[in-house]
Structure 1
Amino acid sequence: MTISNELPARAAPGAVDRPGSPRGKGLTLLVTCAVFFLDALDNSTVGVALPSIRDEMSMDTGSLQWLVSGYTLAFGGFLLLGGKAADLLGRRRVLVVGLAVFVAASLLGGLMTAPEPLIVSRFVKGAAAAFTAPAAFSIITTRFAEGRERNRALSIYGATGGLGWSTGLVASGLLTEANWRLVFFIPGLLALLVLALVPIAVDPDTPGTRETRDAGGSGGRRSFDPGGALVVTSALLLLVYGVVQAPEAGWTDAATLLPLALAPVLLCAFVAIERRHRAPMLPLEIFRSRLRSVSYLVACTHAAAALGWQFTIVLYLQEVLDYSATRIAMAILPLGVTVFLTARFLTSRLVNALGVRAVCVAGLVLQVVSVGMFVLVGTSDQYFTLVLPCLVVHGVACGTVLNAANIGGVSGVADRDQGVAGGLCSAAYAVGAGLGTAVLAGVITGSGGATGGAGEGLAAYQNAFLAGSAIALLGLVIALVGLPRRASERTELNGT
């Protein structure tokens, strides 16, 4: 059925038929959303367990932060490789292997008794998630027809991230109080259940189809770009490494500057390789669309503001208001619930009616205001009068912007490249999250938040909230200037 308001109405180049009943599609969506739920759950649960892990294993702060940074580094570094692997080797196959590694890393991590192998398990889990995330994402974008059907599916997919994050916050306090190792075991067992459902819920795809051969293979042989894969993965690893090192080492330290300087050089080399390769790892024509390219930038800046804000609000509630870990989790829970409800019931309808640009602009306006309002926090508890209302508004912003940017980031992309496009969406979010956390952590440290008294500590957090609002404002400007208007979206995609 063709609906005039779809974005866009035409099928993507290289699209394949999407057979199956609505019930079958529903089961596919359930399992792929469960993958995203697990990623979000795992991220939020580990953060709360860090103090207990530190006490039992006698870890210093530098080692402890790598339980989070190691996951982030691997996830951000391997996303494009994971997306390309899904396109070439088969999305269901990559999803199954990635989930199996995720299960093994989770269960083994819970058994570790020394810091080093525990950190390694987190790195391996992050690498596994870098393959499962674009595989699950591209299963949705190739299974559901572009337009209203896909927009609704992607909105539900995004909503499960908010639900997983919120569930992890609440569960982490309870699990950590019992035994921090449950924070590793429970996600592993849940992933094992999802792994068992994948063969039932996801149809097998046949790699090396005509579309893949046309993309550069000869004689039906699948082609790969090992040079491009090595260079772009190295570039992303260096970029994320420099970002996660910055809060502790400092922005002027060699450990931060060297990888951040090398990453752009490798990215330029990667572009040169891709221009000459007949089957590039990342088809550069994806960036010829303003809608797609700017959507990645919007996702990056939105994530920087959102995750940087999350880092700051947790520290503020803990250090200034003396909230316990469980109370912090319950205090922030309304944000995750609002993200879920907004993404599940509102975002796709807004995108269908108004287009990607209008939804991103409106959501970013809400983010600028809600994050900026946290500047008004003080040393007294203003949870119900200030914090809670701002949490709800920020939840609406997060539930709209990220999903709309994801829809824009995969619009008009051929099915054969949906894994790479999904990897780009996830990579933009991962890099933005790391940058936002690093920048706001630097603002807090530079403003005396780590060593100052109560007054200086409050001022440091207020400055960080202001910086987060400024980052969201940058995203708003990018969306206003760069994203095509509703009337131009169809024409713009048809020309790419």
Structure 2
Amino acid sequence: MASFTPLQRLVIAVAVLASFVTFLDGTVVTVALPALSRELGGGITTQQWAVDSYLITLSSLILLAGSVSDAYGRVLVMRIGLIAFGVASVAVAAAPDPLILIIARALQGAAGALLVPSSLALITAVMRGEVQSRAIGVWTAFTTAAQLVGPLLGGLFVDFLSWRFVFLINVLPIGVNLVLLARLRLSEAPHDARVDWLGGALCALGLGGVVYALIEQPHQGWSSPAILITGIGGAVLLVVFLLRQRRPRPLLPLSLFRVRNFAWGNAATLFVYAALSLNGFVIGVYLQQGAGLKATEAGLASLPITILMILLSPRAGRAAGRFGPRIFMAAGPIVMAAAALLLLLVSPQFDYWWQVLPAMIVFGIGLSLTVAPLTSAILGSIDESRSGIASAVNNAVARVAGLLVVAMLSTIVGGTLDLGGFHDAARVTAALMAIGGVLSWIGIRRPAPEPVAEQDPDPVPDPADG
């Protein structure tokens, strides 16, 4: 098996670090939520908005960012995103009240939207075939580990410093990646630079309206004018956004969904990542507020998943490159569904070793089987010239899934994240995972091998060569 070239290794390092800060900041907040709401106030609503304000801008602008990445060049877009993300992180850490924190988190998400599609697009632009699958396996291992190790790092900062330092964790990787970007020399030829800015605004406002209604309706009720106006208005804007995509040069090329693996892979992504977001949020908060663990202990709870991801995800990526992604994308979510059901063992007499650890181990195995093959199947099915927007669509689907499930948290857990709510969330997680596995089995197919140009074993000399 061919090893990576120096250029490919540099691209992987840049892509990993760029996505690392985005995914880390999306999950590091989970164990900081109880401390954050204690200091700033607002209870579960502040906790939901601390997560969803980030996800709203990240998920709604990621399509626009993918289009901008293809139009103006991935390296330039990534550099701008890194600098903006660092500035927004400082603003979050200094927030004096919930409103400023929520606004700063939204700006952070907007900057993060510039990073994820451009990072994966770099990999798909430089590598194809089995090498690409291996590279995506490495990217997946470390970026998913960032999501999983985030609660541990966040817990350490909360317990020994302050929740505010949680949002400064990414300063170092941002600085390192800016240095690596300066060394990366790619001949990127920008495409036609017309970008659908209005479409991006419609998507952002539509998602914002729907999410506001979902989060606030338990407090104001569906009959509230504010809920009706924002919810219905947001849904209408999303419909207008989709209708607009039938024009030439759309922000969301609907033609991508005519590619089988892309369409079915994104359908599976919707359910799998909704389950991942729900599970991560609930475990991070319940283990502190319900089971009485410290923030660091709650963060350590998911460490087995991180270890297994680092060990197994690159191997799953290589195996998917050889045998096709279908079996991995079907089996992985089913294994994670079983892991979620194991969390029903959690009782008032809490015991991490017997009630949570088995679920974390099984969950880590299932996640390792799933993520790299899923990403490789989706992005490997799309031509390199549209890799930026393809990556953006897939990441937008994943973030929207998390956004909506967190917005519906109060409905899922019955208004309070007590033991009964924790069990309800585990059941919903298992159901979402199972649906993702079934969709993968039904829809995903093994990609056709890339043709290899045959060489003439005995070429005829060209007289012009002398």
Residue 239 of structure 2 is aligned to residue 274 of structure 1 = no
Distance 1:324 1:149, change over 3 A: same
48-57 or 401-410: bigger deviation: 48-57
Residue 304 of structure 2 is aligned to residue 334 of structure 1 = yes
Displacement of 1:461 in angstroms is 2.1
Residue 1 of structure 2 is aligned to residue 30 of structure 1 = no
TM-score (norm 1): 0.82
Given the alignment, which residue of 468, 475, 483 partners 2:429?
468
Given the alignment, which residue of 142, 149, 159 partners 1:167?
149
Tell me what 2:206 maps to.
Answer: 235
Tell me what 2:70 maps to.
Answer: 87
* Distance of 2:220 and 2:386 partners within structure 1: 38
Code of the aligned partner of 1:165: Q
Tell me what 2:130 maps to.
Answer: 148
Displacement of 1:185 in angstroms is 2.7
Distance 1:77 1:342, change over 3 A: same
- Secondary structure of residue in 2 paired with 1:276: coil
Distance 1:117 1:462, change over 3 A: closer
Displacement of 1:363 in angstroms is 0.5
Residue 80 of structure 2 is aligned to residue 97 of structure 1 = yes
Code of the aligned partner of 2:243: A
Distance 1:406 1:262, change over 3 A: farther
Answer whether contact 2:82 2:115 (CA < 8 A) is retained: yes
* Distance of 1:246 and 1:204 partners within structure 2: 50
TM-align CA RMSD: 2.8
Answer whether contact 1:243 1:434 (CA < 8 A) is retained: no
335-344 or 361-370: bigger deviation: 335-344
* Distance of 1:330 and 1:140 partners within structure 2: 31
Residue 294 of structure 2 is aligned to residue 324 of structure 1 = yes
Structure 2 residue ranges without an equivalent (≥5): 450-466
Q: Cα deviations across residues 101-129 of structure 1 (Å, max 9, x unaligned)?
A: 01111223333434433332211111000
Given the alignment, which residue of 349, 358, 361 partners 1:389?
358
Residue 460 of structure 2 is aligned to residue 490 of structure 1 = no
* Distance of 1:301 and 1:393 partners within structure 2: 19
Given the alignment, which residue of 133, 139, 153 partners 1:157?
139
* Distance of 2:4 and 2:380 partners within structure 1: 23
* Distance of 1:350 and 1:413 partners within structure 2: 20
Code of the aligned partner of 2:67: K
Q: Cα deviations across residues 359-410 of structure 1 (Å, max 9, x unaligned)?
A: 1111121012111222232222342234212111111222222322222222
* Distance of 1:301 and 1:253 partners within structure 2: 30
Residue 265 of structure 2 is aligned to residue 302 of structure 1 = no
* Distance of 2:124 and 2:410 partners within structure 1: 36
Tell me what 2:442 maps to.
Answer: 481
Given the alignment, which residue of 248, 252, 257 partners 1:287?
257
- Secondary structure of residue in 2 paired with 1:379: coil
* Distance of 2:354 and 2:395 partners within structure 1: 35
Correspondence 1:43-82 to 2 at 5 A: 43-57=26-40, 61-82=44-65
Answer whether contact 2:48 2:215 (CA < 8 A) is retained: no
Displacement of 1:21 in angstroms is 7.5
TM-score (norm 2): 0.87
Displacement of 1:315 in angstroms is 3.9
Code of the aligned partner of 1:93: L
* Distance of 1:252 and 1:407 partners within structure 2: 44
Displacement of 1:27 in angstroms is 1.3
Code of the aligned partner of 2:156: L
Tell me what 2:460 maps to.
Answer: none
Correspondence 1:392-411 to 2 at 5 A: 392-411=361-380
Code of the aligned partner of 2:136: L
* Distance of 2:319 and 2:217 partners within structure 1: 38
Distance 1:249 1:331, change over 3 A: farther
* Distance of 2:253 and 2:278 partners within structure 1: 31
Residue 411 of structure 2 is aligned to residue 442 of structure 1 = yes
Percent identity reads 27
Residue 326 of structure 2 is aligned to residue 343 of structure 1 = no
Tell me what 2:464 maps to.
Answer: none
Displacement of 1:88 in angstroms is 0.5
Distance 1:268 1:319, change over 3 A: closer
Displacement of 1:36 in angstroms is 1.6
* Distance of 2:177 and 2:302 partners within structure 1: 27
Tell me what 2:89 maps to.
Answer: 106
Distance 1:409 1:324, change over 3 A: same
Aligned length: 449
* Distance of 1:75 and 1:122 partners within structure 2: 10
* Distance of 1:138 and 1:46 partners within structure 2: 27
Displacement of 1:262 in angstroms is 4.2
* Distance of 1:258 and 1:350 partners within structure 2: 49
Tell me what 2:167 maps to.
Answer: 184
Q: Cα deviations across residues 244-302 of structure 1 (Å, max 9, x unaligned)?
A: 5567666776655655544554344334333232x222322211012101101111100
Displacement of 1:237 in angstroms is 3.7
Residue 196 of structure 2 is aligned to residue 225 of structure 1 = yes
Tell me what 2:337 maps to.
Answer: 368
Distance 1:107 1:227, change over 3 A: closer
Given the alignment, which residue of 391, 395, 418 partners 1:426?
395
- Secondary structure of residue in 2 paired with 1:140: helix
Q: Cα deviations across residues 392-429 of structure 1 (Å, max 9, x unaligned)?
A: 11112222223222222222322222111111111111
Distance 1:79 1:461, change over 3 A: same
